[in-house]
Amino acid sequence: MLLAIDTSAGTSVAVVSGDLVLAERSTEDTMRHAEVIGELIAGTLADAAVDPSALAAVVAGMGPGPFTGLRVGIAAARSFAWARSLPLVPAVSHDAVALEEWESGARGPVLVVTDARRRELYWSSYDIGEAGPARTDGPGLCKPDELPYPEFSRIDATQVSAGALARSVRPSFERGDAAEFTEPLYLRSPDVTMPGPRKRVS
């Protein structure tokens, strides 16, 4: 079983066994990741009636996502995995959206888009075939009028499902494949930066 955590958009936590989502709790609130993450983890484990000792790994959504929210989920996933001596499985958040599109019957080229704030967008392109989605480009960051692949079907996602995230990465985890991205996909510097040295007064 996998515990999955994603805070690239709102906050989502799920417990997944194989392709079955045993429990999932989510909120689209993008301002209170730190306040709700602990409650969502505890509540989801309780809903699934799963003891942490039964988990095989913790899946962490690596984004793309805004710095402040994304780091909360990754820190929570890393802390939980460390405390329980479980492997951490990094996953691209957009892959979860593409998987759900495939399951809903979408086929062909699609562009998954999420809000990056500061009037920018995150994007990833996929080719969705009968066997599932394959990422063909991205993740990337751009202004709204600079989105690539205008001919692709555009999917604007306001929430990333942790359940879908775990299911998207489970095959590669079970094969023992190396993670594609092991660092958070912030794709730009955080809004807050360390101050530089003080200027000398002459």
What pLDDT is stored for residue 188 in this prediction? Answer: 78
pLDDT of residue 28: 83
Q: So what's the pLDDT on residue 148?
A: 98
Structural domains in the chain, sorted by start? 2-175 (3.30.420.40)
**Residue numbers in the chain where pLDDT is lower than 50:** 191-194
Q: What is the rounded average pLDDT for all residues in the chain? A: 93
Contact 67, 7 (CB under 8 A): no
Output the pLDDT for position 200. Answer: 57
| pTM score of the predicted model | 0.91
Determine if the peptide bond prior to 64 is cis (ω within 30°): yes
To which residue do tokens 């999932």 refer? 24
